[in-house]
């Protein structure tokens, strides 16, 4: 069972592939579709962006597609950077500059007031439209300095609410069981498997008796 993952972020694709690995679903990279269109993430919500990315690539490839959009919401910043997480430091932002800006704007804020949460929205679509959209949330705290070398994005600053370590300090196998993206894709896996079962029934495939 194959599904196209609508992202050109190789770190994200690798993480999603690992999350889907234990299921019967194989993640297919957009690298296999060099002519696939670029999707502008100009939606007003994570949900809108995920839906747009999934639908546009599903219509181009004519295959089942998943896409996610994730954001970091910091309470002390009234939910920022939110939908602008990837470009928090402005045009051409990198993981490094985004983290530096986050530390700068939270300078002087005590740890107990640095509560935050990661939110991930995952859309599943085929060429006919959106199949479903699911969401995963994980709560934590923003550290006062970078810690750990694993992960990507804000992982070196995001302290897990349950493990007391930043996501970047966790082994990928651990993070991929508890994160916002893991929670969202656990729900997405059920959507994909139900979709495939439904398609098989619609096609009236013959069943072989054991």
- Residues classed as catalytic: 69
Q: Is the peptide bond before 210 cis (omega within 30 degrees of 0)?
A: no
CA angle 166, 167, 172 (to 5 degrees): 140
Classify residue 81 by its DSSP letter: E
Please name the residues in contact with 85: beta carbons below 8 A apart, sequence gap of 6 or more.
70, 71, 72, 98, 153, 154
Helices (H), 33-179: 46-61, 95-105, 172-178
- CA contacts within 13 A on the Cβ side of 112: 0
């Amino acid at each position: 069972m194959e599904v196209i993952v609508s992202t050109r972020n190789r770190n994200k694709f690798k993480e999603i592939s690992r999350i889907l690995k234990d299921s019967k679903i194989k993640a297919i990279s957009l690298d296999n579709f060099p002519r696939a269109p670029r999707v502008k993430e100009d939606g007003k919500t994570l949900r809108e962006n995920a839906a747009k990315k999934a639908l546009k690539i599903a219509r181009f490839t004519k295959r089942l597609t998943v896409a996610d959009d994730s954001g970091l919401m910091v309470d002390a910043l009234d939910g920022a950077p939110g939908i602008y997480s990837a470009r928090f430091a402005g045009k051409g932002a990198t993981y490094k500059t985004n983290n530096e800006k986050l530390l700068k704007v939270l300078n002087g804020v005590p740890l107990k007031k640095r509560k935050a949460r990661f939110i991930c929205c995952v859309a599943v679509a085929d060429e006919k439209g959106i199949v479903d959209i699911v969401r995963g949330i994980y709560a934590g705290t923003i550290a006062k300095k970078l810690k750990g070398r694993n992960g990507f994005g804000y992982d070196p600053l995001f302290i897990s609410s349950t493990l007391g370590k930043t996501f970047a300090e966790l082994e990928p196998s651990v993070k991929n069981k508890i994160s916002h993206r893991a929670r969202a894709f656990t729900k997405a896996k059920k959507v994909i498997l139900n979709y495939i079962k439904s398609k098989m029934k619609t096609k009236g495939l013959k069943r072989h008796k054991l």
